[in-house]
Amino acid sequence: MQRLQVESRLASYQVVAEPGALGRLGEVLAAEGLAAPRSLVSDTVVAPLWAQAAAASCGASLLTIPAGEASKCWATVEDLLGRWLERGLHRGELVAAVGGGVVSDLVGFAAAVFLRGIAWVAAPTTLVGMVDAAIGGKTGINLERGKNLVGAFWPPRLVVIDPQALRTLPARELAAGGAEVVKTAWLGDRGLLPVIRDMAQPRFGALPVEVWQELVMRCATVKAGVVSADEREAGPRAALNLGHTLGHALEAATAYRRFLHGEAVAWGLLAAARLGRRRGLLSPAACEELSSAVRALGPLPGIADLAAEAVASHIGRDKKRDDGGVAWVLPSDGGVALGQRVTIDEALEVFTELQKAAS
């Protein structure tokens, strides 16, 4: 079992990885000193592939939510809380989330508010979940006004990664997750960038499970380091938002229907690279290094037809705005520059450049 430690103000926890861990989830939890969860939550896609076996291995009842971002809402939280109450779950118990970022964000949030907080474990089954969403304790749901506008910092007791789950992930989801891998590599493991370029489509999906585990755990190590140093995003954790300002705006401007999260982040990374270059934060070579790793992931859903003003208006509603405007994270040669004020006009210009370059 490969493992790494994440520090947390509430309770530090481990990320463990091993092929086959999902089918032996009960055993893995017991070996880590955790009780078997009574409730395991997954979605309609992941349940038959991985979660039924995981639930059976720990004797948990399986609750299934509809797959997709639309489930990350108040109604699903209320439904989940009701079902946990019906089953008589109490404060001393553990629940488990088996699925992608939607499942871990949602179940983590429901766990944070159920009876004022119960323990949970995350078993991410997507690349985005493994390298980002399940680590660091950010949980939450979307509102109509935007993504992740309601949430809580509520770290899991354990993150269990089974790299075999990536075998059933559609190629599009894998490539989308690749954008979070590129982001993470940029922040803390640049040696991964050429690896990603070499591994990317069409061979991305065919990688051996050991290679996936190594890639995922290298990213998880970077993420664990960042969130251990700044769990509550008082400062450096904001670096993880690289690519997310435009990314979240694109998702919202298309009602979460056109882009997978990672695909929107990929566009966001390309825009951030252009902004970094404009401001002299990035050399031409570094700009190309970042942009080419994103492009290597394959074609993205288009942006040419999107009204730039609509996208800009969503940027203006970003969570990272204050009275001084929207603070972007921009890539620099050495890493990132935090809190970069980008005016709406400049964001519009760069978005229009991207649209032209992509058409």
Q: Is 150 exposed, middle or buried (0-12, 13-18, 19+ CB in 10 A)?
A: middle
Q: Is 241 a catalytic residue?
A: yes
Catalytic residue among 218, 237, 274, 314: 237
Q: DSSP string covering 239-305, please?
A: GGGTTHHHHHHHHHHTTTSS--HHHHHHHHHHHHHHHHHHTTSS-HHHHHHHHHHHHTT------TT
Catalytic residue among 248, 274, 277, 314: 248
Q: DSSP string covering 75-144, please?
A: HHHHHHHHHHHHTT--TT-EEEEEESHHHHHHHHHHHHHGGG--EEEEEE-SHHIIIIITSS-EEEEEET
- Comparing CB distances to ligand GLY, the nearer of 230 and 346 is 230
Chain residue whose CB lies nearest ligand GLY = 240
Sequence-distant (≥ 6) Cβ neighbours of residue 297 within 8 angstroms: 175, 176, 178, 179, 182, 196, 200, 201, 204, 266
CB of 344 to ligand GLY, least distance (A): 24
- Comparing CB distances to ligand GLY, the nearer of 132 and 289 is 132
Q: Is 138 a catalytic residue?
A: yes
Q: Is 223 a catalytic residue?
A: yes
> How big is the chain by its Cα radius of gyration, in Å?
19
Which neighbouring-strand residues pair with 121? 96, 158
Q: Is 321 a catalytic residue?
A: no
Catalytic residue among 38, 241, 251, 314: 241
| Spatial separation of the C-alpha atoms in residues 335 and 216, rounded to whole Å | 20
Q: Is 116 a catalytic residue?
A: yes
Give CA 354 to chain center in angstroms: 24
- Comparing CB distances to ligand GLY, the nearer of 21 and 128 is 128
- Comparing CB distances to ligand GLY, the nearer of 132 and 251 is 132
Q: Is 148 a catalytic residue?
A: no
Q: Is 183 a catalytic residue?
A: no
Q: Which amino acid is at 354?
A: L
Q: Is 314 a catalytic residue?
A: no
- Comparing CB distances to ligand GLY, the nearer of 9 and 91 is 9
Q: Is 180 a catalytic residue?
A: yes
Residue 23's SS3 state is coil
CB of 132 to ligand GLY, least distance (A): 5
CB of 84 to ligand GLY, least distance (A): 25
Catalytic residue among 233, 346, 349, 353: 233
Catalytic residue among 86, 116, 144, 145: 116
Q: Are 297 and 179 in contact (CB under 8 A)?
A: yes
CB of 354 to ligand GLY, least distance (A): 22
Sign of the dihedral defined by the CA atoms of residues 235, 241, 242, 244, in that order: negative
What DSSP state is assigned to residue 8?
-
Helix, strand, coil shares of the chain, percent, nearest 5, are 50, 20, 30
Catalytic residue among 72, 147, 223, 314: 223
CB of 240 to ligand GLY, least distance (A): 4
- Comparing CB distances to ligand GLY, the nearer of 138 and 314 is 138
Which neighbouring-strand residues pair with 335? 332
Catalytic residue among 72, 138, 157, 314: 138
CB of 237 to ligand GLY, least distance (A): 5
Q: Is 78 a catalytic residue?
A: no
Residues of this chain that bind ligand GLY (CB under 6 A): 132, 136, 138, 237, 240
CB of 173 to ligand GLY, least distance (A): 17
| Spatial separation of the C-alpha atoms in residues 101 and 106, rounded to whole Å | 8
- Comparing CB distances to ligand GLY, the nearer of 40 and 187 is 187
- Residues tagged active-site: 116, 138, 180, 223, 233, 237, 241, 244, 248, 261
